[in-house]
Structures are given as C-alpha cells and as structure tokens.
Amino acid sequence: MLGGTATLGPHAVHRMGYGAMQLAGRGVFGPPRDRDEAVRVLRRAVELGVDHIDTSQYYGPGVVNALLREALYPYDGITIVSKVGARRDDTGGWHSWDEPADLRQGIEDNLRALGVDQLGAVNLRLMGIDGQDGLERRLDAMVQARDDGLIAGIGISNVTFGQFQFCAERTEIVCVQNQYNLVDRSSQPILDACTERGIAFVPFFPLGSGFGTHDVRGNPSVVAAAERLGATPTQVALAWTLAQSPAVLLIPGTSSVAHLEENLAAADLVLDDVQLE
C-alpha cells in the first residue's frame, strides 16, 4: 500500500506522501483558488493512507498550514514535516531568513499555526549559505530545537554533497530534500549516500521543474512506457523515482482530488528492468 513504508526519523511512514505546497494560490502565494477542494484533497489523501505531509509556514504564507489545521487537526497518525530558512515579502518574493534566531522563530511559527507541540521533522533549507561557519551556526540552531523537543528530527534541503556530509557527520539527519527526477539526477551521489546511511531522501520536483521547464512527463521514454502499461506519464515518472532506492519518499503535490488519486496510484505501478533502463 502506497509503496510500502520507510523510516523518517523516529516514524515509519508510507513511501508515497503528499506535498501541500500547491494548495496555496498561484506562485505559492495567497489563498487557494478553491478552498473547499483544497480541504477535500487533504482529507482524501489521508483516507487513501497518506501519513506523511510536507508543508511550510512560508507557503502562502500561512495559508497551507491553516488549511492543514482546518482539514486534519489533530493529525492522528500523520507525520508532518516542515521547512525553515526562507520568508515571503508582500508581493510573494522569496528571501533568505536563516539566521539562528530566524530559524527558531520559523519553527515556532509552524507549531503555532498547526496547533502542535512538536513536528515530525523540519528541513533546514539552504539558500546561498557559504562557508562551514555559517552552516554550523544554523545547524546548531536546529539541534537546539530538537533538543528542546520542538522537532523530532532534523532535515536538510537544497544541499550540495559537501554540505550533506558536514551535516550528517555533525548530527543525526533524518531526511534530505533535493531536486531529483529522471531528467535531473545531479543529486544521485546524495541519494546513494542516504541509501547507505538509512536517511530518507525526499525529492522535490519529481516530475521536472515546478516552473514549467524540463517536464519529465513529455520524455519519449516515459510516454512510451505509459502507453505500454496503460498508465499515465505522471504515474510512470513517479514509479521510476520510487524504484531508484528504498530510501526515496515521494511527496507529489496537487490541488485536485483527481490528480491526487492519479499520483498515489503510481505506488502500485511496477516497472520491469527493461522499462527502468
């Protein structure tokens, strides 16, 4: 069911989860186009067995966490993972917000918005951090939040292999979120290292760029495999990503119940060796 289970820090979750980013308005900013449908998507995801949901207070900002609370509180059996390190301005622009005090406030803002005392994990999203000292100070803030019981595990996102190694050697890392898909495999060394260490690897943009370029679904091999299997290109691309490692946890996002059901069905799609190649 939903690709089996894998470890996410202290939690065992289904390998097919849900990324809530697309529930906000255009550009991940402002309210959803259809609030009722957004609530239905969240509730349907849980009905279908999703127990790992990815979110952030800067989605909206505040919009997605409010929807989660409305639809799913008190989140029985659901591991909620968030991320910190960025903020939004009044026009929807993205900016770094990653000094240690900012990270702590970001975690507390997520807790307050969701109405919980602890999050399953929080990812430190790196946005242009240079040098070991800058990373060490920020990682220390995450360790303190974990030691204080605000988060159950520390994740990292948008990292280089060197940054991954530094963080994993300094403290326990429970998940890594980097871009990875059939077209862009630049994070393959990190995925391999996560597999070896038993760390969850949570690829973002598994269907290609989230901004309309390099869409994996148009890849001729994906289209051909979908036709042979009686599946959709989306399902083939997701099934291929799941098959790359037992450490992979998928969080495909959508604001449509129909697309949600299409995405989750990919967990039942088995690609043979020839199709994978």
**Residue pLDDT, tens place only, 195-231:** 999 999 999 999 986 555 578 888 888 999 999 999 9
Catalytic site positions: 59
Q: Please say whether the beta carbons of 207 and 197 come within 8 A.
A: no
Query: Which residues lie across from 82 on neighbouring strands?
Result: 122
How many domains are contained in the chain? 1
- Say what the pTM is: 0.95
The enclosing domain of 27 has a CATH number of: 3.20.20.100
Q: What does the block give as tokens for 102?
A: 């900012």
| The pLDDT value given to residue 53 | 98
| The pLDDT value given to residue 102 | 97
**pLDDT digit string (tens) for 126-174?**
987 666 668 999 999 999 999 999 999 999 999 999 999 999 999 999 9
Q: Tell me the average pLDDT of the chain.
A: 94
Q: What does the block give as tokens for 20?
A: 């809530």
**pLDDT digit string (tens) for 39-82?**
999 999 999 999 999 999 999 999 999 999 999 999 999 999 99
What is the domain range of residue 27?
Answer: 5-276
In 133-171, which positions are buried (b, 16+ CB within 10 angstroms) versus exposed (e)? eebeebbebbeebbeeebbbbbbbbbbeeebbebbbeee
